Structures are given as structure tokens and as C-alpha cells.
Amino acid sequence: MRILVTDGMDKSAQAKLAAMGHEVVNQFYEPAELGTALRDFNAVIIRSKTKIRKQQIDEAKGSALQLIIRAGVGVDNIDVAYAEENGIAVKNTPRASSQSVAELAMAHMFSCARFISAAGATMRAGKWEKKAYSGGIELSGKTLGIVGFGRIGQKLCAMAKGIGMTVIASDIYHIPGIEEQLGMQYVENDELLARADFISLHAPAVNGKALICAENIEKMKDGVVIINTSRGTNVDEDALLDALNSGKVLAAGLDVFAQEPSVNAALYNHPAVSATPHIGAGTNEAQARIGEEIVDIIANF
């Protein structure tokens, strides 16, 4: 197979694909050029930067393209149903990055609770503002609400339970027996919003109203902390900024943004925001696991 890698991939996995006899080409294409380029490949491997929509599929259908692989959990940057209607299979790597994303969500929780991002920035500016950052909070004893209780949410739950947090979760699907297994509780979304001290999003992108919007923020406790390592569009950034400025939301940890690279400087520069540039799966271990999963997908395909 000729395989196009648009957004980078673990080098050892690429070497394994080459050893299997496949030709691997690393090249990013702008959206206007991608569809035509795909006609020369049997498979394409993308991450979050590349989008494969109806336009690209129309331009590529009827060619050699047989397989699209999303090196990550979600596939919302691919028009999956349309691709499959046109004979192009779509796969992803749902297991490989769960631990890394969950650990980043936990890191943002600590950063928000203890002002780590803001305090570090002031120190790099030559300041020593000990009193300003002495009013932190402990995570132990607090309630964490997890919106979307899939693999990532479950791993975050285990970490949170390990430091003494109470965990509640909302999800359209309730996994039998997992409440007893992990010591958590499923609740309806409105109850989660009202009870949680920390809210962490681990749901796919939603159509229509964002999960974190002005209406839902009003249902939350005063001083809530919001974490988003899922999809940027799950948060209404204007509503979150207003809530941060009013103090309704104490802090936010954000790895994803509505537009990436983010142009919302008022949000990512806010002193109560711990921000990272979409690095949830950006660990050596996760990238190696993603690469292995991709090799298996192609071998089985």
C-alpha cells in the first residue's frame, strides 16, 4: 500500500510499515489540495490538524483510496458516514492515548487548584507573589464530575479516587457494574452540574449547544473548576470567559479550543486559565501505542 501520513507519526511504527512492504509518505496538504492528493494513496493517517470532509472525499472517491485512519480517539474531523458510503473504511485508535489524556486532565486540575500556571508565569517575569497564590484548594474531599465516561473518563476516575475525590459521571450509556467496580456514581447532567466542584469533559463534539454554555454554567456551584481535554467546541468560550471574569468559575484548564491554533488571546492569557496547545496525546508512550495500533489496523485490513 501507499500510505500518506499528514500530521506526523511515531517513527518506529513507520519503520514497521516499511518493513511490511508499504510505502509511507509524510506530507501535509492544505484542504484545497488534499482530496486530489489522496487519489494517489491507498490509505491516509491523520491526527487532529487534517480534516477529511465531503469535498475531499468527493475528489478522492473512485481512486485507490481505501482506508482513513485517525491516530486518536475521536473521528469528528472526518465525515465518516459519507466516506463509508463511498467504499472508504474509517478506523481510529481509541485505546492508545487514554492514559495520557487522563493524566493531562488531572495535571490541569492541580494547576487550577494551586495556580501553578499563573504563579510560574509571574516568577518568570521576575516577581515573587507568594501571598497572591496562597489561597489554593485541595482536590481531596472535593467532587469531580466527569462528562462522558468512556476510557479516558474511567482512567481519570481511578486517579481522582486515589487522591480522595468523590466521582460522579454523566453519560448516555451506563456501563453495567462499573459503579461498584470504580466506586463512582452515574447521575443526570443537571445533578452533575449542581454537585461538582470540578467538571472534566471527555465527550465527543456535540452538534448545537456546547456542553459548557451560559445556561449550564448558571446551574453550577460558585467557584467551580472546568477542565476540557475533549473538543474545543464543547465549550462556549465567550460564556466561559464571562464566568471567569465574574468569579462564577474559579479556574479553567484547557487543552483544546474552538479554533486551533487558538486566536482567543483573552481566554488563554486569562490568569485563571491553565492552557496547553492540544497536547493530550502528546507523550512518547501514547504515540508509540498509537503507532502500534495503526500497524495492527493496516495489517488486519
C-beta atoms surrounding 239 within 10 Å: 19
Indicate the pLDDT class of residue 73, thresholds 50, 70 and 90. confident
Using pLDDT thresholds of 50, 70 and 90, give the confidence band for residue 48. confident
CA distance 132 to 183: 36
Shortest CA distance to 66 belongs to which of 52, 50, 83?
Answer: 83
Burial class (CB in 10 A: 0-12, 13-18, 19+), 228: buried
- The single residue of 70, 278, 289, 293 carrying the catalytic annotation is 278
pLDDT at 76 over 80: yes
- Rounded Cα gap, residues 77 and 172, in angstroms: 22
Q: How many CB atoms lie within 10 A of CB 52?
A: 27
Neighbours of 60 (CB within 10 A): 24
Partners of 166 in the β-ladder = 143
Q: Is 202 a catalytic residue?
A: no
pLDDT(69) > 90? yes
The C-alpha cell of 91 is what?
Answer: 478506523
Give 81-132 pLDDT, tens digit per residue.
999 999 999 999 988 999 999 999 999 999 999 999 999 999 999 999 999 9
**Cell numbers representing residue 47 in the block:** 491526527
Distance CA 144, CA 167 (A): 5
Is 2 a known active-site residue? no
Reference 87, options 111, 45, 58; nearest CA is: 58
How many Cα atoms sit within 13 Å of 4 on the Cβ side? 22
Q: How confident is the model over 225-253, as pLDDT tens digits?
A: 999 999 999 999 999 999 999 999 999 99
Tens of pLDDT, residues 14-43: 999 999 999 999 999 999 999 999 999 999
The CA-atom distances, in angstroms, between 203 and each of 3, 17, 68, 149 are 30, 32, 22, 8
Euclidean distance between CA atoms 152 and 230, whole angstroms: 10
Q: Cα–Cα distance between 240 and 225 in angstroms, integer?
A: 11
Is 231 labeled as catalytic in the residue annotation?
A: yes
Q: Which helix (H) or strand (E) holds 99?
A: helix 98-114
| Residue of 231, 237, 270, 293 with catalytic role | 231
Catalytic residue, chosen from 23, 218, 260, 285, is 260
- Mean pLDDT (the chain) is 96
Residue 113 phi/psi, 5° resolution? -70, -30
Residue 147 one-letter amino acid: V
Q: 128-152 pLDDT, tens per residue?
A: 999 999 999 999 999 999 999 999 9
Any idea what the Cα angle at residue 79 is, between residues 76 and 80, rounded to 5°?
Answer: 90
Which band of pLDDT confidence, cut at 50, 70 and 90, is reported for residue 198?
very high
**Does the pLDDT value for residue 53 go beyond 90?**
yes
The answer to whether the peptide bond before residue 31 is cis (omega within 30 degrees of 0) is: no
| Cα-based distances in Å from 158 to 99, 149, 198 | 11, 12, 15
Give the three cell numbers for residue 133: 497564590
